[in-house]
Amino acid sequence: MKTENRITFSRANVKNITSPAARSSDRRIYRGTVRVEDVINISNGYNIRDFLGLKGSVQNDILDTLNNRPEDFEYLNGGISIVANDLVIDHDKVTIINPSIINGAQTQGVIVTALKASIEDFKDVYVQVEIAVTKDKDLITEMTISRNNQCKVQAYSILNRRGVFDDLEKAMKEAGVELNVCESDDKNLDNVVQLIKVLVIMTPQELLDVIGIQNKTFAYSCKAKCLELYQKVADGADTDDKFKSIYKCWLSIAPDALRLYDAWKKHQGFYGTRIQNIDRGNNGNIENVPDGIIFPILASLSKLVKRTERGPHAGHCSIEYDGRYDTFLINAAVMQYKDNGSNPSAMGKNTKAYTNVENIIDVVMAMAK
């Protein structure tokens, strides 16, 4: 049995700032100030970056503030972001269970360096903290990456320089769809990652079953996991038939999958559904349907992805979509939206919502035969 790691902040001022929409889940978020000496033993296990030492101007600026303006440290320093499995408040004592810093390793490292010289000088010095409480490992990974934008770009850049996205860019170009994989522009990065998320959600389940993925709902919220899967499939396509089948499928459906995603984001069939989270133009036209509503629909449309078994294009896939099921899918999506508290984010993460929308297309397709 894994031993719990507990860290207690004494004389802390930490408040629950969880939004009303998230209070029904098992996640919470806290913000406040704690004494600097209480953060020195928190793990950096989930963090992308370790303390780099007093090598750069950032670290030395932190140290200068800590030494020369300790009373202002909580105002001038950006603070530390922490993730923990649980948090208990007892008056001015706060205990966090299995914590890890996900952003702020440089601040913690400088504090440790300063306190080694004299801990007594910093007894009443405070630092800002933000503590996210969750046991969702995928969410922790996403938070770690999103809080470290430089590292996110670096991870993408490494894959790009290895040529992982070259085939995808070529497939899109041959179909007349522009996809720029250059990491110098954050928009390019977001476009590529979004396409990969769409490809994962539109992959026929039978192809994913072979590599041990029984649930693909992570595609909605877990960018890092989608990138990791894409890398794994692309790297293994030359030597492993099961990865080759998925990779061929992705490259062949990518242009149409992106067009389909873009079309559903502005699908006028949502007109009159009264979904408040949809962005509408001045004339009432649908301009942006949230991904949490779109992804269960795209997952169901993966049943229309057909694989060519023979001939020169064996292994290639196509999406046999003509819009005939749209009304049924929209009605099913609206029902799931309501069942999930009119919360697109909750719907996008709820496996049951995907299953219920997919059941509709199964029934309609069966009736059409």
Could you tell me if 46 and 172 lie in one domain?
no
Residue pair 172/188 in contact (Cβ under 8 Å)? The answer is no
Could you tell me if 216 and 100 lie in one domain?
no
The average confidence (pLDDT) of the chain is: 89
> Who's near 39: CB < 8 A, 6+ residues apart?
80, 101, 108, 111, 127, 129
Could you tell me if 91 and 190 lie in one domain?
no
pLDDT value of residue 24: 62
Residue 206 lies in a domain: yes
Could you tell me if 348 and 201 lie in one domain?
yes
Query: Residues 102-152: pLDDT tens digits?
Result: 889 899 999 999 998 887 888 899 999 999 999 888 788 778 766 765 555
Residue 195 lies in a domain: yes
pLDDT value of residue 48: 61
Query: Could you list the residue range(s) of the whole structural domain that residue 13 is in?
Result: 6-142
pLDDT value of residue 87: 94
Could you tell me if 131 and 153 lie in one domain?
no
Residue 115 lies in a domain: yes
- Residue finishing a domain among 93, 112, 142: 142
Among candidate residues 109, 82, 111, the one with its CA nearest the CA of residue 96:
82
Among candidate residues 271, 268, 260, the one with its CA nearest the CA of residue 299:
260
> Who's near 224: CB < 8 A, 6+ residues apart?
141, 142, 145
Structure tokens given for 39:
């953060």
pLDDT value of residue 152: 56
pLDDT at residue 42 greater than cutoff 70: yes
CA atoms within 13 A on the CB side of 338: 8
pLDDT at residue 250 greater than cutoff 70: yes
How far is residue 357's CA from residue 326's CA, in Å, rounded to a whole number? Answer: 11
pLDDT value of residue 223: 83
pLDDT at residue 2 greater than cutoff 80: no
Could you tell me if 69 and 162 lie in one domain?
no
Structure tokens given for 53:
């030492």
Query: Residues 6-30: pLDDT tens digits?
Result: 999 998 899 999 988 777 668 899 9
> What is the strand order of the sheet 86-90 is part of?
6-9, 93-97, 86-90
Could you tell me if 293 and 314 lie in one domain?
yes
pLDDT at residue 46 greater than cutoff 90: no
> What is the strand order of the sheet 13-16 is part of?
13-16, 28-35, 126-133, 80-84, 100-103
Could you tell me if 247 and 269 lie in one domain?
yes
Could you tell me if 123 and 230 lie in one domain?
no
Phi/psi at 61 (5° precision): -65, -40
How far is residue 190's CA from residue 155's CA, in Å, rounded to a whole number? Answer: 13
Could you tell me if 31 and 46 lie in one domain?
yes
- Residue finishing a domain among 142, 166, 195: 142
Could you tell me if 80 and 155 lie in one domain?
no
Residue pair 330/267 in contact (Cβ under 8 Å)? The answer is yes
Could you tell me if 43 and 75 lie in one domain?
yes
Residue 118 lies in a domain: yes
Residue 25 lies in a domain: yes
Query: Residues 255-306: pLDDT tens digits?
Result: 999 999 999 999 999 999 999 999 999 888 999 999 999 999 999 999 999 9
- Residue finishing a domain among 121, 142, 163: 142
pLDDT value of residue 143: 80
pTM, entire model: 0.68
Residue 1 lies in a domain: no
pLDDT value of residue 111: 94
Residue 1: pLDDT band with limits 50, 70, 90: very low
The total number of structural domains in the chain stands at: 2
Structure tokens given for 245:
């089948």
Residue type, position 200, single letter: V
Residue 359 lies in a domain: yes
Residue 227 lies in a domain: yes
Regarding predicted confidence, which is higher, 77 or 143?
A: 77
